[in-house]
């Protein structure tokens, strides 16, 4: 772990990134300024808890849209896997591929040797809310991969940015 690897603090600039979505189109966080952004990092497509989490965000997307918030799922899986995952679960928001683990490291949420696979780094299940100015306003990181975020808490964090 390098010296610059540490979780960004609330109120600081959210680490910027450019990642391909599941259609292999580049998405840059700093280009989302002017809207609130929910970043939902998850360990792996096609796993039970990840499907439940992403489907919960899918089912509440209208509420986030009403709050002028964009939702992005982020995993280290390739865009091809993410596309199949998004299609199978009718996800209505982009799934970004952090295949080089740049965002995972920038947000200090690398889960090294994931699932006992030596050398394989996944994202820790985590949610970050970024405000319209690109500042981090909410951060949650799971203690273990089976833990889901508090969805009401995430929505409340976005609601607080209104007004």
| Enzyme catalytic residues | 50
Secondary structure of residue 56 in the 3-state scheme: helix
Residue 44, Cβ neighbours under 10 Å: how many? 20
74-95 burial, b if ≥16 CB within 10 A, otherwise e?
A: bbbbebebbbebbeebebebbb
Q: Is 12 left (phi over 0), alpha (psi -120 to 50) or beta?
A: beta
Secondary structure of residue 25 in the 3-state scheme: coil
Could you tell me which of 145, 142, 126 has the C-alpha nearest to residue 38?
126
Which whole-number Å values give the CA distances from 31 to 18, 27, 56, in the listed order? Answer: 9, 8, 26
Contact 96, 19 (CB under 8 A): yes
């Amino acid at each position: 772990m390098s010296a610059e690897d540490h979780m960004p603090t609330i109120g600081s600039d959210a680490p910027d990134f450019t990642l391909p979505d599941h259609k292999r189109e580049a998405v840059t966080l700093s280009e989302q300024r002017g809207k609130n952004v929910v970043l939902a990092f998850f360990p792996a497509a096609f796993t039970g808890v990840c499907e439940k989490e992403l489907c919960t965000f899918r089912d509440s997307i209208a509420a986030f849209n009403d709050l002028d918030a964009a939702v992005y799922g982020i995993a280290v899986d390739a865009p091809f896997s993410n596309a199949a995952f998004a299609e199978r679960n009718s996800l209505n928001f982009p799934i970004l591929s952090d295949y080089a683990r740049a965002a995972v490291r920038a947000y200090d949420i690398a889960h090294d040797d994931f699932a006992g696979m030596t050398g394989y780094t996944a994202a820790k299940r985590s949610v970050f809310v970024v405000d319209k100015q690109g500042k981090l306003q909410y951060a949650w990181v799971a203690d273990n991969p089976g833990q889901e975020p508090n969805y009401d808490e995430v929505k409340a964090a976005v609601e607080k940015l209104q007004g």
